[in-house]
């Protein structure tokens, strides 16, 4: 198992045989397809591209030999050719996984969630929820200023380094700004259960991202 693309469904609670309640994130693990294999000789590094979620064809008008005709297409020609070369359906989400050495992988190969086993430790990659513009107390957990004794800087950042020296604000200063909507990697998450029949993976605890967002799974790089 070098990686897998799934979709976050939501969170729930399951109970172990000893009665312990465990909060888990439910991931919908539809089949993944190998759509490209990169090698050191051709691309300078070894990698495998996986893709999932078939794109439905849509009817649209196109000019063919000077006449407007109704043509069924899912994507444009470059994307269509990319998936035809791999002999797979046209897929919506793709992700590349780098590998030291490529073994037992074929173009067009179908990969199911049974590559994971219960109690396996993995890394989970997703895009965090966007929270818009946030101040320093919410974004960086600042304590804020005094609430009494004439304090007038309740939720502000305090000094940001002005005055005559250095007479400027240093780059990287913690200030208010865009919060969330960034790539987040959660290390050492445990797989609680794998339901192969329903293509579902249960991961212990929360994972980054909103419901219906894409979540990438890979072997844990910092496993204890």
pLDDT at 198: 93
CA distance 203 to 4: 14
pLDDT(129) > 80 = yes
157-171 pLDDT tens trace: 988 887 788 888 989
What is the arithmetic mean of pLDDT over 172-184? 95
Question: What are the domain boundaries of the chain?
Answer: 133-179
pLDDT(10) > 70 = yes
Q: Where are the beta strands (DSSP E) in the chain?
A: 4-15, 21-28, 32-38, 47-54, 58-64, 67-73, 91-98, 110-111, 121-127, 132-134, 177-179, 183-195, 200-204, 214-219
46-65 pLDDT tens trace: 999 999 998 887 777 777 77
20-40 pLDDT tens trace: 999 999 999 999 999 999 999
CA distance 97 to 208: 19
């Amino acid at each position: 198992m070098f990686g897998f693309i799934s979709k976050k469904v939501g969170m729930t609670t399951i109970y172990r045989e000893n009665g312990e309640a465990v909060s888990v994130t439910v991931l919908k693990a539809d089949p993944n397809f190998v759509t490209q294999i990169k090698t050191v000789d051709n691309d300078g590094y070894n990698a495998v591209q996986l893709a999932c979620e078939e794109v439905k064809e849509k009817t649209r008008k196109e000019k063919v030999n000077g006449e407007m005709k109704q043509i069924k297409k899912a994507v444009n020609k470059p994307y269509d050719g990319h998936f035809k070369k791999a002999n797979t359906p046209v897929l919506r989400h793709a992700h590349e996984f780098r590998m030291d050495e490529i073994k037992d992988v074929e173009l067009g190969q179908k990969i199911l969630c049974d590559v994971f086993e219960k109690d396996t430790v993995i890394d989970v990659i997703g895009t965090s929820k966007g929270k818009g513009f946030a101040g320093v107390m919410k974004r960086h957990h600042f304590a804020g200023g005094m609430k009494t004794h004439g304090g007038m800087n309740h939720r502000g950042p305090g000094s940001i380094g002005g005055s005559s020296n250095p007479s400027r604000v240093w780059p990287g200063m913690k200030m208010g700004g865009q919060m969330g909507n960034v790539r987040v990697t959660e290390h050492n998450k445990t797989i609680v259960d794998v339901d192969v029949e329903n293509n579902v993976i249960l991961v212990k605890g929360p994972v980054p991202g909103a419901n219906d967002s894409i979540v990438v799974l890979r072997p844990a790089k910092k496993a204890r």
